[in-house]
Amino acid sequence: MQHPPHQSPQVAAVTALPGPRVPSREEDGPWHAEAVCKRDEAGLFFAPSKEPTAARLSREEAAKRVCARCPVMIACRQHALLQPEPYGVWGGLTAAERRVVLARMRRRAGELRQQPGSEPIAAAG
Ligand code: SF4
């Protein structure tokens, strides 16, 4: 079974279960309509189970080549970082690459909070 790139196998499994409806990622916004990868027939964007490392690297590079010619790459990447999406290639970034970007963003936000004159941020909760 093929999964659209914006619906990981994990989400597909959850949405197939009875119970509260989990929103489809196809409802994320207009950018999805222009996604080059709407039909991920080659299965490039999400890892099959027990995928060897060499195969994963090759698959991810192929997915990134698709992303590189996608007109909605920036919107897709922003979506994947904001969610955050834990699996798959989104916006030309692998899950590991997105974790690095998010860590940098958090570190940068922390540095900005430490700067003299910055407003203290109230703790949530
Ligand atoms: S950037 Fe990549 S993952 Fe995102 S919609 Fe385009 S082809 Fe799909």
Q: How far is CA 10 from the centre of its chain?
A: 13
- Whether ligand 1 lies within 6 angstroms of the CB of 44 is answered as no
Mean pLDDT of all residues belonging to the chain? 80
**Predicted local distance difference test score (pLDDT) of residue 20:** 31
- Whether ligand 1 lies within 6 angstroms of the CB of 75 is answered as no
Q: How far is CA 6 from the centre of its chain?
A: 8
Q: How far is the CA of 55 from the centre of ligand 1 (A)?
A: 20
- Whether ligand 1 lies within 6 angstroms of the CB of 36 is answered as yes
What are the backbone dihedrals phi and psi of residue 90, each rounded to the nearest 5 degrees, phi first? Answer: -135, 135
Contact 46, 80 (CB under 8 A): no
Q: Return the residue whose CA atom lies nearest to atom 4 of ligand 1.
A: 91
The pLDDT tens digits for 76-98 are 999 999 999 999 999 999 999 99
The pLDDT tens digits for 21-50 are 333 445 556 888 999 998 877 899 999 999
Q: What is the DSSP letter of 41?
A: T
- Whether ligand 1 lies within 6 angstroms of the CB of 46 is answered as no
Q: Return the residue whose CA atom lies nearest to atom 3 of ligand 1.
A: 90
The pLDDT tens digits for 4-28 are 455 555 444 433 333 333 334 455 5
Q: Return the residue whose CA atom lies nearest to atom 2 of ligand 1.
A: 67
